[in-house]
Chain A
Amino acid sequence: MRPLIPAEVRARLARLQIASRLRPDGQGLGLHAGRGRGAGLEFAQYRAYGQGDEPRHIDWKLYARSDRHFVRDATRDTPLSVWLVIDCSASMAQADPERPDHARIDAAKLLAAGIAERAVAQGDSVGLVTVGGAVTQGLPAATGARHRDRLLLALTALQADGRDGARAVPPLLSARIGPDALVVVIGDGLDGALLDAGQQLAAARRDVCVIRLLTVGEARFPFTGSPRFVDPETGRARTLDADAARARFLERFGADRQAQLRQLATHGVRAVEQVLDEPADAALQRLFGARGASR
């Protein structure tokens, strides 16, 4: 089987750190600064010695200066729980005529695989939920290489086959995804229900990122002549003069995209777009790379 992630993308991913803007409050040892105080490398605060504290945690040099017992607290580094939410409606199967074997769902699989790869390498747990498809699939968040392989296998088998009835998002998305988790929603942004669910999750103390995948046709509308445009979900068709429709479509669609991004930002959701002809990890670099990283 062909590896899901090409070699050069994997090389770029190695410098990437999947991070949440929230401080996770999990158990165990991780790479992320947690909310809990305790044993760790990074100094957090001094606090007065209380009953139950181990004497070896007392800062004796400070006792010498102040004659009081103070305990040195450090930030506890905790693991992160990463959830991948992938839109599997039929519009995700849309590809550009110039590159029919690279649909939106393929780009989504690649992004999800990259995130999973990095998260597992960081010791974080990864879970998967697909929405909008004919079948709702999911894997609970877990860590480890075996879980990563299970997840990659599930990703490979994903199909964007949801028809118009399947736009509904599983209502208990927040029940599956625990608090303080990093939620990465990968979709085409055409389903308002999914974005609403993302906003609700963000309001319920999850760090939500949205990656919106655009085809070249949607981003630049390079069609000429009078082709027949067919909606893959509803089957509706519209034949029109592409040259005359281009400017108006780009203006309207672009305005709607910007409005959507602004609305997501006001709800505390980080949203980026990626066009299908961009590098496969472009959205990840924007979200988690050196420039777009927000700690």
Chain B
Amino acid sequence: MIELARPLGALALIALLVPLVIHLLRRSAAREIPFAALDWLMARTPPRRRFRLDQRLLLALRLLLIALLAALLAEPLWRADGDRETARVYVAPGIDPARARATIGALPADGYWLATGLPSLAQPAPQPESAARLISLIRALDAELPSTVRLTLIVPELLSGLDGERLQLGRDVDWRIVADATVMPATPAVPPPPLRVAIRADGTAQTVARALLAAWRADGLVLAVDEAADGVPVPEGTSLLIAGTAIDTALSARIADGLTLLRGDAADQVGEVLLRDDSGQPLLRRQRVGRGQIITLVGALDPAQLPALRDPQLPQRLLPWLRPALPTPDRALAASVAPLRGAADAKSRAVPLLPWLIPLIAALALLERVLATRSAREPR
């Protein structure tokens, strides 16, 4: 069975008119006969305007050549007749097989689990897997199955573990969603790691730091605190340092390595303004250093000198700037991530015919030249 990868290429068949026209025109132009006994020729027999074509073999060859060139543009593919249209159903693990069968209903199709090895639906359900793994399996299916196979995918309502790329396939698939499946594992299987805080301050600064930590703890934030005297090195893995000291070289290196430093400095004029107080004056400034940052409260860490510190909302307002970046969202409703039809069609099993077509065209072109020049040598 021959298919055309680019059916618009068949429009080139219009060019079949060109050799026809050439043969018609050349015929009428070539016949001129010197004839001195013109007076004895009766003008009463007008010329017949028959569409008679000379050199039919050459014309047929040229037509065939152009038809093959049009086929070359249309990119024919050979597909074995054995690839009958079939349907397959793949069920994401975690969905109850009985519910899946009810969903597929009367579909005359084989059912498989969408899991490693693609086991049959009759086998016990494998462990649920993340959506990224599911999507990887779907892509593999799309690439490997011939395009005549109709795919039905049964997925849970909520998919997690997605990446930013929308799934694109080379065929249209039946994307079915089972509503209340208890599918996806609870996303955070482990409690989030504690925010590791180091305090290198004394006096009122230490008090302020402790007050901040207490406020954050009260909000449910899990903290691991390393409190020491000023000058003690900050342990590895610390993500937030609250300090009142100046920044030395070692500390700069740690900040550039990803540490966030929170400090109070009334004289700080650099960095972008993150927060402003009620009168519009800058309250919180940030200065990026390498992968880390320096967050500066404009003013000494002393509630007496910095009235903003007495604001009970301040710890909550500070927190977003101090915590490391949250994980990117990776959950979506399955209905919103249905696969798109991608540009590349599924044609894995189709054999392109171009390697045979091109030598055939070359041979025919050669033959056409031989015929055309041979008939030109013969007297007409």
Task: Give Cα A230–Cα B50 distance, bound, in whole angstroms.
Answer: 21
A8 to B319, CA, bound (A): 123
Q: Do B40 and A256 touch (CB < 8 A)? A: yes
Chain B contact residues, majority secondary structure: loop
CB pair A241–B41 under 8 Å, yes or no, is no
The stretch that binds B, out of A27-35, A68-76, A244-252, A264-272, is A244-252
A190 lies within 8 A of B33 (CB): no
Beta-carbon contact of A241 and B40 below 8 Å: no
CA distance in complex: A187, B256 (Å): 115
**Shortest distance in angstroms between B254's beta carbon and chain A's nearest beta carbon?**
101
Query: Is A196 on the interface with B (CB-CB < 8 A)?
Result: no
Residues of chain B within 8 A (CB-CB) of A217 are: 33, 35
Nearest A residue to B31 via CB reads: A227
B47: A residues at CB distance < 8 A: 226, 239-241
**Is A56's CB within 8 Å of the partner chain B?**
no
Contact with A along B12-53 (1 / 0, CB 8 A): 000000000000000000011111111011110111111010
Q: Determine if A240 and B41 form an interchain contact, defined as CB atoms under 8 angstroms apart.
A: yes
Inter-subunit contact B37/A95 (CB<8 Å): no
A245 in complex: contacting residue of B31, B33, B41, B52, CB < 8 Å: B41
Interface centre among B36, B43, B49 (most CB of A within 10 A): B36
Give the contact-size bracket for chain B: 20 to 34
Asked if A43 CB lies within 8 Å of chain B CBs, one says: no
Q: Which residue of A lies closest to B30 (CB)?
A: A227
CB neighbours (8 Å) of A233 from chain B are 36
* Chain B residue with the shortest CB-CB distance to A251: B40
B36, B37, B43, B379: the one contacting A240 at CB < 8 Å is B43
CB atoms of B34 and A238 under 8 A apart: no
In chain A, positions 205-256 with a C-beta closer than 8 Å to chain B are 217-218, 223, 225-233, 236, 238-241, 244-245, 248-249, 252-253, 256
User: A229 to chain B: which residues have CB within 8 Å?
Assistant: 33-35, 38, 41
Closest A-chain residue to B54, C-beta based? A225
Is B56 located at the chain interface by the 8 A CB criterion? no
In the assembled complex, B380 has its CB within 8 A of some CB on chain A: yes
**Given A240-B45, A240-B47, A245-B42, A97 and B37 contact (CB-CB distance below 8 Å):** no
Inter-chain CA distance A244–B43, complex, in Å, is 11
Looking across the interface, which residue of chain B has its beta carbon closest to that of A244? B45
Instruction: State whether B33 touches A227 (Cβ < 8 A).
Output: yes
Number of interface residues of A (CB under 8 A): 34
A125 touches B (CB below 8 Å): no
**Alpha-carbon distance A233/B39, docked complex (angstroms):** 12
Contact A241 B42 (CB under 8 A): no
Assess the A94–B41 pair: CB atoms within 8 A: no
Closest CB of chain A to B38's CB: distance in Å? 4
CA distance in complex: A248, B39 (Å): 12
Q: Is the CB of B34 within 8 A of A95?
A: yes
Residues of A within 8 A of B380 (CB): 97
> A241 touching B46 by the CB < 8 A rule?
yes
**A159 CA to B100 CA in the complex, in Å?**
102
Q: Tell me, rounded to whole Å, the shortest Cβ–Cβ distance linking A218 to chain B.
A: 5
* Minimal Cβ-Cβ distance residue in B for A188: B36
A91 within 8 A of B: yes
Q: Does A98 contact B (CB under 8 A)?
A: yes
Is the beta-carbon distance between B32 and A230 smaller than 8 angstroms? yes
Contacts of A188 in B (CB 8 A): 36
Question: Contact partner of A231 among B38, B42, B45, B52, CB < 8 A?
Answer: B38
12 CB-based A-B contacts, threshold 8 Å: A90-B36, A97-B379, A98-B379, A229-B38, A232-B34, A240-B45, A240-B47, A241-B48, A244-B45, A249-B37, A249-B41, A256-B40
Instruction: Please name the 6 residue pairs, one residue from A and one from B, whose CB atoms are nearest each other, closest first.
Output: A91-B36, A226-B47, A244-B45, A227-B31, A229-B35, A253-B40
- Using a CB–CB cutoff of 8 Å, the interface residues on chain A facing chain B are 90-91, 93-95, 97-98, 100, 188, 190, 217-218, 223, 225-233, 236, 238-241, 244-245, 248-249, 252-253, 256
- 16 additional A-B pairs beyond A90-B36, A94-B35, A240-B43, beta carbons within 8 Å, are A91-B36, A94-B36, A95-B34, A100-B379, A190-B36, A218-B36, A223-B33, A225-B48, A226-B31, A227-B32, A228-B33, A240-B46, A241-B48, A245-B45, A248-B45, A249-B40
